[in-house]
Amino acid sequence: MDKAVPMSNSPLWQAHKAAGALFAPHQGRLAPRRYGPVSIEYQRLTTDAGLSDRSYVGRLRVMGKDALDLLNRLSTNDLMGLVPGSGGATILTTNKGRIIDRLVVLHMNDSVLLLTSPRTRTEVARWIDTYTFLEDARVEDATEGTAVLSVSGPNSALRLDTLMGGNLEGLPLYHWRALSVAGMPVTAVHTDPVGLPGYDLIASTEHAPRLWEHLRDSGIPPVGHAALEMVRVERGVPLQGRELTQEFNPLEAEQWDAVSFAKGCYVGQEVVARLSTYDKVQKHLVLLKVDGRGAVPPGAVVQADGQRVGSVTSAACPPRRHKTLALAYLHRSHARPGVAVEVVVDGAYRPARAARLPGGRKNHA
């Protein structure tokens, strides 16, 4: 289990407690696991919309006229076409092409805002600083002064448009709009942290509790990370610290949407390009459908014909399914849809079949 500390960077801690939230470790923080039955929260997420607190996500503001150019030279995707109001996903890699973090990059009017994974925000800031020489660019950690309220689900845009009149329905992924909700300024970002349509609402810590109450009172119920994790695994969304680590490269993690092969150099570019050009990717992230319902711990061995072919990184048992779903890295020989494998759990061999990640690639939470 993660060593966790209270979600001290969230101004909503007391609101969660008052709502009867049960807390459990998540991304290095004690965060609401559930407010009621997990099955009901899962249903809300997959059929309507649910409200969650993502204030643990890092927010780094990069300022200066060279900010975007610097980030473009440090990461995998082509960011130079971004204009104010737009955004994109990119990955910081080591010089060996291994994943540091997947970032959401938002071109604000006077700066660039990065949404990072909770545990990597300090590392990302240091990484940018390490490669800043004569560039006019500086990093400011904006995490503590703001909060992130997330609305996820197929009806999330409809729900928020009814409240805000912000016409979010047609907003492209990773684009943002400045809105006002009940007199409170909010930055609404189209995101997909668990593979569902969703919107991160970034507000000041002063306004966050009132914004939370306003959204909840308007009919968007809160959901905890237990239901969100079920959806994430079901939708095949990799998570930093599980599927996205320095053990893996972006192509193994199926992060093709965040990699440009047409742009110039970046840290780790030669390695990533060589893997693609010469078809040298040796393992792939897949979705496993494991027979029976029951816990499958991270690190569980996946084997075929008595030989190890991979390992599990995440697993969940969504309601109404008769199988356990797991994310796993498998050797390329067994990372094809329909290939039969076995997952070893407590000495038992549970049959499973590999499947492609739904939708090809989704985002980090």
From 141, 159, 186, the end of a domain falls on 141
Q: Is residue 267 part of a domain?
A: no
The CA distance from 72 to 68, in Å, is 6
Looking at the fold, whether 67 and 95 belong to one and the same domain comes out as yes
Looking at the fold, whether 126 and 197 belong to one and the same domain comes out as no
Looking at the fold, whether 131 and 167 belong to one and the same domain comes out as no
Q: Is residue 274 part of a domain?
A: no
From 234, 268, 302, the end of a domain falls on 234
Q: Is residue 322 part of a domain?
A: yes
Q: Is residue 250 part of a domain?
A: no
Q: Is residue 120 part of a domain?
A: yes
Beta-ladder partners of 364: none
Q: Is residue 272 part of a domain?
A: no
Looking at the fold, whether 66 and 52 belong to one and the same domain comes out as no
From 76, 111, 141, the end of a domain falls on 141
Amino acid at site 173: L
Task: Give pTM, 2 decimals.
Answer: 0.94
Looking at the fold, whether 148 and 50 belong to one and the same domain comes out as yes
Looking at the fold, whether 74 and 100 belong to one and the same domain comes out as yes
The CA distance from 174 to 96, in Å, is 28
299: left (phi over 0), alpha (psi -120 to 50) or beta: left
Domain of residue 96, residue span: 59-141
Residue 362 carries which DSSP code?
-
Looking at the fold, whether 152 and 228 belong to one and the same domain comes out as yes
Looking at the fold, whether 71 and 132 belong to one and the same domain comes out as yes
Structural domains counted in the chain: 3
Provide the token pair at 188.
């609404």
The CA distance from 164 to 179, in Å, is 7
Looking at the fold, whether 337 and 207 belong to one and the same domain comes out as no
Provide the token pair at 314.
């995440």
pLDDT per residue rounded down to tens, the chain (365 residues): 344 445 555 789 999 999 999 999 888 788 999 999 999 999 999 999 999 999 999 999 999 999 999 999 999 999 999 999 999 999 999 999 999 999 999 999 999 999 999 999 999 999 999 999 999 999 999 999 999 999 999 999 999 999 887 789 899 999 999 999 889 999 999 999 999 999 999 999 999 999 999 999 999 999 999 999 999 999 999 999 999 999 999 999 999 999 999 998 999 999 999 999 999 999 999 999 999 999 999 999 999 999 999 999 999 999 988 999 999 999 999 999 999 999 999 999 999 999 999 865 443 33
Instruction: List, in order, residues 6 or more apart from 233 with CB less than 8 Å away.
Output: 287, 314, 315, 316, 318, 325, 326, 327
CATH number of the domain where residue 325 is located: 2.40.30.110
**Alpha carbon of 149 to those of 4, 48, 167, 185, 212: distances in Å?**
21, 17, 18, 13, 7
Q: Is residue 219 part of a domain?
A: yes
Q: Is residue 161 part of a domain?
A: yes
Looking at the fold, whether 89 and 127 belong to one and the same domain comes out as yes
Looking at the fold, whether 214 and 342 belong to one and the same domain comes out as no
67: left (phi over 0), alpha (psi -120 to 50) or beta: alpha
CATH number of the domain where residue 121 is located: 3.30.70.1400
Looking at the fold, whether 130 and 160 belong to one and the same domain comes out as no
